[in-house]
């Protein structure tokens, strides 16, 4: 595995329709989600509305409902759905050999944005 991807652990630690978080030193925490059909997505763990913790929301198909005021955020694009407007950065994820990897550049970008 080259250095482009960060190994963040085994896929089986992330239940279907569940989420976990990954702290980023100097940057925004990242939320990693798994959908009912097994896709994995990662977003900065801050709702574009008032920074609610998306990792504590409920996953439906490829969106998550923010636990604070029920905005729905696309796990694919990071955009608010429906009438609401806003966007949260997404981080490319891949699954290989039963482990999850995040694109290193995108994680580093979240550090720069938070600085
Ligand atoms: S903070 Fe997420 S809907 Fe308000």
Q: What DSSP assignment string belongs to 19-67?
A: EEEE--TTS--EEEEE-TTS-EEEEESS-TTT---GGGSEEETTEEE-T
Nearest CA to ligand 1 atom 3: 69
Using the predicted structure, report yes or no on whether residue 35 has a pLDDT greater than 60. Answer: yes
- Six token digits for residue 61: 């198909």
Supply the pLDDT for residue 114: 63
Query: Which pLDDT tens digit goes with each residue over 57-92?
Result: 999 999 999 999 999 999 999 999 999 999 999 999
Task: Name which residue leads in pLDDT, 3 or 113.
Answer: 3
Is the CB of residue 64 below 6 angstroms from any atom belonging to ligand 1?
no
Question: C-alpha angle 107/103/66, rounded to 5°?
Answer: 60
Architecture of domain 5-114: 3-layer Sandwich (2.102)
> Is 49 a pocket residue for ligand 1 (Cβ < 6 Å)?
yes
**What is the distance in A from the centroid of ligand 1 to the CA of 35?**
21
Choose which residue among 31, 44, 46, 52 to substitute to test ligand 1 binding: the one with the highest number of ligand atoms within 8 A of its C-beta.
52
Ligand 1: does its nearest atom lie under 6 Å from the Cβ of 73?
Answer: no
């Amino acid at each position: 595995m080259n250095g482009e991807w960060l190994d963040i652990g085994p896929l089986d630690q992330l239940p279907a329709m569940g989420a976990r978080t990954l702290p980023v030193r100097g940057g925004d925490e990242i939320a990693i989600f798994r959908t009912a059909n097994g896709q994995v997505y990662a977003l900065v763990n801050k709702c574009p509305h008032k920074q609610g913790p998306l990792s504590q929301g409920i996953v439906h198909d490829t969106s998550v409902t923010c636990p604070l005021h029920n905005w729905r955020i696309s796990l694919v694009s990071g955009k608010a759905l429906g009438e609401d407007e806003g966007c949260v950065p997404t981080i490319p994820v891949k699954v290989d050999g039963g482990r999850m990897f995040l694109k290193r550049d995108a994680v580093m970008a979240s550090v720069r944005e938070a600085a």
